Chain A
Amino acid sequence: MDSIADMGGTQAWGPAQVPTDEPPFAEPWEGRSFALTVLTMGRISGRNLDAFRHALGRLHPIDYLVDGYYGRWLNAAELMLTDSRILAPGAVDARARRNRGEDVTEPPFPEPSRPDYKPTAAGSLREIDRDPVFAAGDAVRTKDMHPEGPTKLSGYLRRRSGTVTAIRPPHVLPDTHAVFEGENPQHVYTVGFSSTELWGPDAEPFTVHADLFESYLAKIPESEADQ
């Protein structure tokens, strides 16, 4: 899906921040939000990191942006917990309002209904039997994909031509894994794109390398690549 999380190449964000020394967590709640999210993710189903990332992408843009990085973690954790009926919608707000003295009725805890999923191994890397379809040096084009659900093919890389620069270990496919529809591991390739292919003839000269799943890519026939 085209979500607020897919930021590559979007504009009007202002200048980048000048790095400074900073602690990992600017305020105590950020550390609590971080720990709560990581620890509860495993309570949903199989520590599904892709599902968490998809939850981030499903947030309303205001909820994604307004409280910063750990604010969006908090909101995505709440979304996953309500999806799995571990918490009722509105339960967090109701508790927070009660804590500050408002007379609010809290919804009862629902009956949990978690996705039926167990990972076949720890982490995201898998071994698969088939050989990679592409080799380093191959000219490839990204597909014209616009799924309603999750994908890791960023908008700015759709329908672009590039060159495979490396073959990486196979990964579970986030497009199905994030929605608990199977791991479907695939080969992953680092693909290099020229800046002019992405941003037109006036772009600064540089190369972007992105890590892309095999099903996102199609080979460019040699006859066409030579043109």
Chain B
Amino acid sequence: MSKAAPADRLSPALRTEALEQLLVERELVDPAVMDKFIKTYEQDVGPLNGAKVVARAWTDPGYRAWLLRDGTAAIKDMGYGGPQGEHMVVLEQSDEVHHVVVCTLCSCYPWPVLGLPPSWYKDPAYRAGMVRTPRRVLREMGLEVPEGKRIEVWDSSAEVRYLVLPQRPPATEDLDAEALAALVTRDAMVGVAEVAAP
């Protein structure tokens, strides 16, 4: 760590390598465990988990009601839980209300259902702007929220983690949960996009 001018700074890649070496020498980390951990978040924990939750809610009214009443338990029923998912709350989009989730203090995000946060979610422009000019920020990101629709912004400032249940797109009556899950995007489950019809 240093406050040196950027020109004099060591690259984060070099500094990460150095830190890893020092911790391995102190026997505090095992590179093989690190590899496994990285692979988990690259391959297993990602927005497909959340998409399956959403698709089940779209096709099973009982599940949808449970999900909205007790998100943590209903999501656990799909096999998802763990770090950054201790208490999950699901917010349902409607014709009247548009929900969008942010973390202004860090970049808190529901890892078990969405994986690690994308770069736009961690970007100061998003963290700062979403609680001040959400309609403008959403427009910059490509989503126009109709004037009559109420915007509700959720700042994840404690350990509650929010998942947005998007509206089911039209003309999808014939699709089963698996086909529906393939339509659901990470961005829609944070509230910066809608799910497009196939």
CB-contact partner of B1 in A15, A27, A53, A59, under 8 A: A59
Give the CA-CA distance A8 to B37 in the complex, in Å.
31
**Chain B residues closer than 8 Å to A65, beta-carbon distance:** 124
Q: Does A218 contact B (CB under 8 A)?
A: no
A11-B128, A152-B158 given; A67·B12 CB < 8 A: yes
Q: Is the CB of A109 within 8 A of B42?
A: no
Give the CA-CA distance A97 to B10 in the complex, in Å.
8
A13-B128, A16-B140, A123-B86 given; A29·B193 CB < 8 A: no
Chain A, residues 4-23, CB within 8 Å of chain B (1/0): the string is 01111111011111110011
**Chain B residues closer than 8 Å to A6, beta-carbon distance:** 104-105
Q: Does A212 contact B (CB under 8 A)?
A: yes
Q: Is the CB of A53 within 8 A of B19?
A: no
**Chain A residues closer than 8 Å to B94, beta-carbon distance:** none
Q: Is the CB of B125 within 8 A of A17?
A: yes
A16-B140, A93-B10, A206-B150 given; A32·B38 CB < 8 A: yes
Give the CA-CA distance A204 to B151 in the complex, in Å.
10
Give the CA-CA distance A203 to B35 in the complex, in Å.
47
Interface segment among A72-80, A128-136, A219-227: the answer is A72-80
Q: Is the CB of A209 within 8 A of B153?
A: yes
Q: Is the CB of B135 within 8 A of A206?
A: yes
B122 vs chain A, min Cβ distance (A): 4
Q: Is the CB of B125 within 8 A of A25?
A: no
A156 vs chain B, min Cβ distance (A): 7
The main secondary structure of chain A at its interface with chain B is: mixed
Interface size on B, residues (CB 8 A): 75
Give the CA-CA distance A198 to B3 in the complex, in Å.
34
Give the CA-CA distance A6 to B193 in the complex, in Å.
25
Q: Is the CB of A35 within 8 A of B160?
A: no
Q: Does B196 contact A (CB under 8 A)?
A: no
Q: Does B171 contact A (CB under 8 A)?
A: no
A87 vs chain B, min Cβ distance (A): 6
A31-B42, A124-B86 given; A74·B15 CB < 8 A: yes
**Chain B residues closer than 8 Å to A210, beta-carbon distance:** 155, 157
CB contact list, B16-31 vs A, under 8 A = 16-23, 26, 28-29
A41 vs chain B, min Cβ distance (A): 11
Give the CA-CA distance A104 to B40 in the complex, in Å.
37
Chain B, residues 131-156, CB within 8 Å of chain A (1/0): the string is 11111110011100000001111111
- Shortest Cβ distance from B108 into A: residue: A53
**Chain B residues closer than 8 Å to A100, beta-carbon distance:** 14
A9-B131, A78-B1, A169-B87 given; A206·B153 CB < 8 A: yes
Give the CA-CA distance A53 to B84 in the complex, in Å.
13
Give the CA-CA distance A86 to B6 in the complex, in Å.
27
CB-contact partner of A19 in B19, B35, B38, B118, under 8 A: B118
A8-B127, A56-B106 given; A43·B28 CB < 8 A: yes
Q: Is the CB of B15 within 8 A of A93?
A: yes
Q: Is the CB of B187 within 8 A of A171?
A: no
A10-B128, A24-B116 given; A77·B153 CB < 8 A: no
- Shortest Cβ distance from A39 into B: residue: B29
Chain A, residues 22-54, CB within 8 Å of chain B (1/0): the string is 111111110111111011100100000000010
Q: Is the CB of B106 within 8 A of A213?
A: no
- Shortest Cβ distance from B126 into A: residue: A16
A-B contact pairs, 10 of them (CB 8 A): A6-B105, A9-B132, A16-B123, A35-B37, A56-B106, A60-B3, A99-B14, A123-B159, A154-B104, A154-B105
Given contacts A17-B123, A40-B28, 10 further A-B contacts (CB under 8 A): A7-B104, A14-B125, A17-B141, A18-B120, A29-B16, A62-B3, A92-B15, A154-B105, A156-B132, A169-B87
